[in-house]
Structure 1
């Protein structure tokens, strides 16, 4: 199945560097990215002292199987020193690349559309910036409506000189 996908990009360890270079890494794979505005937000669930996150979303066509995309995203994360705890517990990270939306595909095994779209503004708002008028295939509302339901007061849109 081919078509556009949306990937969430986030970091709270040297985030300007890791987010910018992750976008370069994806472009180096020949991907033509449309990128949302960048947002800064406090780290959720990481405790005192955790640095703020920078989050954005990237939209691009993906002509190959989604498993290939997920593998590419993991390789880019690993190249940036991403570590994962086996428990799945949240920790600070150099880079987080999540496949959020793939066309109108509903696939619970691949977590599509990503469940965090309905939980966190730092995920939903950048997606709405890119595909706000598109309808979430499970919830029946647009991504803009979904983002508007969430508390985005902690998000600060930032300008980054690249």
Structure 2
């Protein structure tokens, strides 16, 4: 089974959509565990987001998993595009079994880990000793070294579970 990390976020009916998404993920994935929830300013304007990170195990391939994540997003009303700055649900595959790969459609591990507080802080809390697949540095250590810079670029509040 592959060990995976997912990033989830929403800024439109966020609590209900994230809760529904987690229920669906629990049905399809094994050993689903979630970080605390965070509220963050939207990076490109719009309403604040609720964000969290989840870890799980799966027998699905990367492509099958990405298809499942898009299906869950669509079920929760996700529309692609940025017309009104509302996002019903965004589920990103952050890591898949420590693989390092780049395709036309995605990169693993996802660059958001190092670029956004709403990804790295929850990771540091959920799996502090797990290491970044490319850098080999634990997420807690990465957060400590990058938090001042990341929090200058994005305001984030820890809400709890």
Same fold (TM over 0.5): yes
TM-score by length of 1: 0.86
Pairing partner for 1:91 from 68, 82, 85? 85
**Is 1:4 the counterpart of 2:3 in the alignment?**
yes
Pairing partner for 1:59 from 34, 47, 55? 55
Deviations for 1:34-54, whole angstroms, at most 9, x for unmatched residues?
0100000111112xxx21100
Structure 1 contact 122–152 (Cα < 8 Å) conserved: no
Structure 2 contact 29–56 (Cα < 8 Å) conserved: no
Pairing partner for 1:104 from 82, 88, 98? 98
Pairing partner for 1:129 from 115, 125, 140? 125
Pairing partner for 2:72 from 69, 76, 79? 76
More strand, by proportion: 2
Extract unaligned runs of 5+ from structure 2: none
Quote the offset at 1:18 in angstroms: 0.8
Structure 1 contact 57–127 (Cα < 8 Å) conserved: yes
Task: Write the distance in 2 (CA, Å) between the matches of 1:119 and 1:89.
Answer: 24
Task: Write the distance in 2 (CA, Å) between the matches of 1:20 and 1:115.
Answer: 25
Task: Write the distance in 2 (CA, Å) between the matches of 1:147 and 1:127.
Answer: 9
Extract unaligned runs of 5+ from structure 1: none
For 2:41, the equivalent position in structure 1 comes to 42
Task: Write the distance in 2 (CA, Å) between the matches of 1:100 and 1:30.
Answer: 15
TM-score by length of 2: 0.87
| Higher deviation after alignment, 126-135 or 145-154 | 145-154
Quote the offset at 1:31 in angstroms: 3.6
How many residue pairs were aligned? 154
Task: Write the distance in 1 (CA, Å) between the matches of 2:160 and 2:34.
Answer: 13
